[in-house]
Chain A
Amino acid sequence: MDITTTITALLTLAVFSFLYRDNPVYKFAERLLVGLAVGYSLVMLGFQALHPLVIKPALEGTGYLALIPFAGGMLLFARFSNRWRWLTAIPLAAMIAAGVGTYGPLRLRAYAINQMVGIVNKVQGTPGVEMYLFALVSLVGFLATLSYFYFGRKGSGLLNSGAKLGTYFLMVFFGATIGYTVMSRMTILIGRLDFLFRDWLGLVG
């Protein structure tokens, strides 16, 4: 039970105190955490992004070109001035356009085309009657979900039935997601309790 582990344990218990009710001890821990997190991000941005990409090359004289996007990025600070706020649109436009310009073609392939090919391959390439039927379940589910998204549940007929079926497939997806999310949350709690009982109190070997 060394001093470092004890400090960590006390802060952990301070956060857990919120389960009883909001209190000054929890508030202190929360504020400290937020402050540290902001400070940490600032350090990482400086040491890991701006220093190696902009500052170091400029100081060593090996690369001044990075100063151009840096100057563009500095325009983002214009948001603090009412008069010059419009300048922030310049770097934002560049960044947003770079994002959508790369997302569009790549997501079209990764999300749309490859997924459609995957479903078709599943149906075509599956050996055995049982697996073939399961693959058909995938195909039906895929088409039903698409039908729900594009046509919604309006009117009657095949499209409406398809969309209704799509709802059920989505409920299966969300149900599975909820089940796995529960596992995820419980795991994090187990980790913290394990720390308290194993590392701090030494009650577990």
Chain B
Amino acid sequence: MKRTIPVILSFVFGMIAIVVTVARPEKIQTASLALSNTWQIIFACGLLAGVLAFFMNVLKRIKRKEDLFFDSVLFIGALIMPTLALIDGISPGSLFMWMFENVQAPMQSTVFSLLAFFVASASFRGMRGRSAPAVVLLITAFIVILGRLPVVDSYLPAITDAVLWIREFPSSAAKAGLLVGVGLGFITTTLRVILGVERPYLGER
């Protein structure tokens, strides 16, 4: 029963999903909305379970007192946003949005901006043409890095044109090949999951 119910559910939901996707939209409105809202609600519950797992993990770490100060910062930080939202709502101008716009979002983008430095460092150390394909990659990257600059637009428009040519022809052709491979492969995965051959929800392949 522990394995049978999920496999049956997988088949039923999978078949409903296929019908909802291929049938004419006006004919299956109720089923389509029921499926999308069910999916949405279960997904939201899944994220909620993730948040609960986070809190339990942090509380365990606080109990162990290994890194008490920083784990407490983590825990208190997680409580701040819900508290502010309950006090003042989530509209622009609220305390919640102030915290988000002036503390969370800038810090998040600053963390991401550190990648620029690491990209520069990695380019210095790692972008070496050691083989023929690597040379092709390096030359293309070099052309694109330079070709999107306004100063190159003005003095060397051929490089800008080269970048646009690369995007329109060889690069998009390679991406199209990738997409076809993925698209065809996905049909196999769809059938395997729906027919119960592959059961990722049971932790099996």
Contact = CB atoms under 8 A, between A and B. Distances in A.
B42 A102 contact: no
Given A70-B41, A179-B140, A173 B98 contact: no
Given A11-B107, A30-B111, A101-B16, A115 B176 contact: yes
Interface in A6-58: 7-8, 11-12, 15-16, 18-19, 27-47, 49-50, 53-54
A137 interface: yes
A182 B119 contact: yes
Q: Is the interface of B mostly helix, strand, loop or mixed?
A: helix
A108 B172 CA distance: 18
Nearest to B182: A111
A95 B48 CA distance: 15
Contacts of A129: none
B90 A94 contact: no
A174 B137 contact: yes
B154 interface: no
Contact of B173 (A37, A108, A139, A186): A139
Given A32-B73, A179-B143, A191 B174 contact: no
A19 B201 CA distance: 41
Interface of A: 4, 7-8, 11-12, 15-16, 18-19, 27-47, 49-50, 53-54, 65-66, 68-70, 72-74, 76-77, 79-80, 86, 89-113, 115-116, 118-119, 134-135, 137-146, 148-150, 166-183, 185-186, 188-189, 191-192, 195
7 residue pairs, one from A and one from B, having the closest CB atoms: A35-B77, A101-B17, A179-B144, A73-B45, A175-B140, A145-B177, A111-B183
